[in-house]
Structure 1
């Protein structure tokens, strides 16, 4: 069957005719004014080009769109040129796609970016404008980068985020100290943003105001509290953790009657962190009625009588009545009472004993784990270093848990209540006594760069593990931490560890080469970190 030729005509084809011919093919349809045959495709394209010009020439200009407001100024000093080039290299690097295994001796730039951002923020630098898109892309792909990246990006990050949907996360995670937010004295701007802003902007405003004027932030929240959605009330209430004080108690006490269970629980948690609050006093009475010292035996012993019911008053004060699956109700209620009771009340309740002596007492009827775990949570919530030290015990105590901590995770949380120096000293002692196999979680709570005693303890433990012929890949996590956290000043101590050691018969095959490669990469990374620090200081590298 042959196509029916379209007779030539002087009428110019319409755009719709050309589109139809292109879709059907010129062997089945030729547009008006064209002849069928081998030249039809070229004629169709020529006609389409001419029609395109005609259509464009006939278009009326649209209304000019409103120009966006210029990006806000960033008053911070710009990066030194070497540091700006380093930032471009760090942002251009991408995580490798290979699996676990040997990584070679080159530093992992992806893992150095968070540390670089922290250092740049400490110096108060602003990024080059051309780096902002890549910086926001990096933060979009890695949530752990967002706080530091958005702080470094500054007010222009929010300006860009409003123009690109892919960067909208910046509006949800805007840091409270953003320079574009009004200060405590700008009451008009505060009120307007609080009434009209996006949810993320309101959260950022409240956090920013709370850090500088806690009472004003609470008053702002109280002004609209009854009209806020439950999920929003929960987020807003959480911002009161910063600067929490006695003046917040009336508002939090009223929040105990909130219609949202999550809001009530958060209000109760905040009140229990105030040892002088009425809720803390109520919890002290309840918890104290459950724990006593029994002097009838040869050794004073703690005896526990857990609650038999969870009444309405306990529920109002934040005690969840329903226990999780696999957990007994009475132990569940007891843990919540002890966790919320002020730790300062226990010495008077238990015969004037210090926290060290209380923790050392035996506990009857297998209640020790439950009781000590609740005291651990209370010490973390109330930031009580004295109780944390008692529950941690000496670093040489059994590795899996001290006299009070039920796990290494509990120990890590308790360490967070101690000073930076004390924390590093305790973890160094733990590593010296137990090695590195259980220390990974504990190292994660230590300040960076690691203090000299801690750094030496880690390097020595790695060296001991290597000499012992240990399976090297099991230490890759600690080695990665060392690359990011070890003080670059310690690099000279690694020189003696770069040679490939002789492998014993019972050593893992290839272990010596892996250890040498890992130590070489560690040394290279430490030297690079030293250069990065010099670049941010503006010193020649």
Structure 2
């Protein structure tokens, strides 16, 4: 590559900072660097031959990668520190296993006896969040991938990932959902940072603004309302609707003047939402207007005894429409019944005591209703109890679950009432006991949605009632996948301490006459899976209380993970 008889000092054939052509590099190599200066900038510490070899190496890599040469971009700023404690070593290993198996193990029918790890991941994330841990840096890419694939994981996954999730999301478009969401109320500025609140409210993305307003309403409802008022008149109708819905957090009588003004909004949906919020405030002026209208159509009459009389409204006037009554009924619904149901939903439930001579909610519900209005009337009162969070009325409308004829009485044919929502009004312990008695009396067929509103882990009476009902189904010889939804809930919601007591159900039993073929073996697998899942859940919780993993997968316990490609 060099010549032994230099003549004159060679000159560079290419200006600095340009990319030499491969042919020019080859020519310089063939002629020798003393006869042909390599078309690359030289540094005093390197010889022309070394510079030529370096340029050839770089060019070779670029050619193989099929990339155009370009100047190096700026390095990303370091990830923000996350001061939360690292996961214990065993819990960190468990998370890596759950993330590795997030693709699922079952095929939707016969799942075998192994626990379903895909359903354990959300439980693990929730438990870890309660301890205030941070996610290991090395597992952040897999955690964000899991949250991208399953929206139900996102709140807990982003909370565990913390500020480093946002840092990574800015480097990888696949995780952009993290930028649209939030890692919790702590991720937005509070009233102690008014300038930060103002800037985010005026310049932030819509999702960030909704998150900010919701967080402020939780901390200081008055501050949140004042912030909304600063831009309300200039917001788009669809944005006003979402912002108004955020006022459910911390809703109080102090919000009434603002909501009364919103009743005159140019958007029908905004007006309807404002009316709904006002009707949830029994002391509001709108609630009083609705009570006056409802009482004009529902009263106490007497024939051979007291009876509730109902007369449907004959018109939906402008005042009713301003207060949120929709004039056009759904298909198949009579106008009068539709208008009356809306009046009943919005009227304060406490006012019915005076209307019915001081009777309690249970006594009012027990009264006969004239002209087949009973289902319509009780359904509307159910929706009012949910909206006003009135436990006394919810309790009266639910009745006694174990009574023989209550299965049809609590939700008669043609009823639109939602028993699960009605149950959500009751205190947790009472709710679990009611559902347990309902299952004991009527089985599992109508209880799935009721189980979904019960606190986790299930209280002991509820857990025992569910297991007993599953055992009865096994003895009847039906297939376990007929109860797959309830079995899945049991795996997630039963107290792990019940595992030892359930061991006896894992044995294969003799199939009764007329049973589905092979049902005994299938039930054995189902109960083995249930017991195995409960024990694994107990192990997971124990691992979260172990010694911290000081390495944390980042080298120093506080560093950030490098950005990943997917």
Q: Contact 1:405 / 1:411 at 8 angstroms: preserved in 2?
A: no
Which whole-Å CA distance do the structure 1 matches of 2:153 and 2:322 have between them?
38
Q: Name 1:40's counterpart in structure 2.
A: none
Per-residue deviation, 1:344: 0.9
Distance 1:95 1:400, change over 3 A: farther
Per-residue deviation, 1:472: 2.7
Picking from 458, 478, 487, the partner of 1:450 is 458
Runs of 4+ residues over 6 Å off in structure 1:
12-15, 48-56, 403-406
Q: State the secondary structure of the residue aligned to 2:308.
A: strand
Picking from 213, 234, 245, the partner of 2:241 is 234
Which whole-Å CA distance do the structure 2 matches of 1:289 and 1:237 have between them?
31
Picking from 283, 287, 305, the partner of 2:294 is 287
Picking from 327, 330, 339, the partner of 1:324 is 330
Which whole-Å CA distance do the structure 2 matches of 1:388 and 1:405 have between them?
19
Which whole-Å CA distance do the structure 1 matches of 2:419 and 2:63 have between them?
74
Q: Name 2:101's counterpart in structure 1.
A: 93
Q: How does 1:167-206 map to 2 (within 5 A)?
A: 167-177=175-185, 179-206=186-213
Per-residue deviation, 1:354: 0.6
Q: How does 1:312-461 map to 2 (within 5 A)?
A: 312-397=318-403, 398-402=406-410, 410-461=418-469
Q: How does 1:61-72 map to 2 (within 5 A)?
A: 65-72=73-80
1:522 aligns with 2:551: no
Per-residue deviation, 1:161: 2.4
RCO higher in 1 or 2 (8 Å CA, sep ≥ 6)?
2
Per-residue deviation, 1:505: 2.0
Number of residue pairs matched? 493
Distance 1:504 1:245, change over 3 A: same
Picking from 522, 531, 537, the partner of 2:545 is 537
1:474 aligns with 2:482: yes
Q: State the secondary structure of the residue aligned to 2:312.
A: coil
Q: State the secondary structure of the residue aligned to 1:298.
A: coil
Q: State the secondary structure of the residue aligned to 2:187.
A: coil
Which whole-Å CA distance do the structure 1 matches of 2:329 and 2:353 have between them?
29
Distance 1:52 1:80, change over 3 A: closer
Q: Contact 1:491 / 1:527 at 8 angstroms: preserved in 2?
A: yes
User: Normalising by the residue count of structure 2, what TM-score does the alignment of the two structures yield?
Assistant: 0.82
1:494 aligns with 2:537: no
5+ long unaligned stretches in structure 1: 1-11, 16-47
Per-residue deviation, 1:168: 2.0
CA deviation digits over 1:8-63, x for unaligned, max 9? xxxx9999xxxxxxxxxxxxxxxxxxxxxxxxxxxxxxxx999868999xx99856
Q: State the secondary structure of the residue aligned to 1:495.
A: helix
Q: Contact 2:479 / 2:523 at 8 angstroms: preserved in 1?
A: no
Q: State the secondary structure of the residue aligned to 1:399.
A: helix
Q: Contact 1:400 / 1:438 at 8 angstroms: preserved in 2?
A: no
Q: Contact 1:372 / 1:404 at 8 angstroms: preserved in 2?
A: no
Q: Name 2:272's counterpart in structure 1.
A: 265
Q: Contact 1:194 / 1:205 at 8 angstroms: preserved in 2?
A: yes
Which whole-Å CA distance do the structure 2 matches of 1:238 and 1:50 have between them?
58
Q: Contact 2:379 / 2:416 at 8 angstroms: preserved in 1?
A: no
Which whole-Å CA distance do the structure 2 matches of 1:399 and 1:229 have between them?
47
Q: Contact 2:89 / 2:547 at 8 angstroms: preserved in 1?
A: no
User: Normalising by the residue count of structure 1, what TM-score does the alignment of the two structures yield?
Assistant: 0.86
Which whole-Å CA distance do the structure 1 matches of 2:234 and 2:491 have between them?
50
1:138 aligns with 2:146: yes
Q: State the secondary structure of the residue aligned to 1:537.
A: coil
Distance 1:54 1:369, change over 3 A: closer
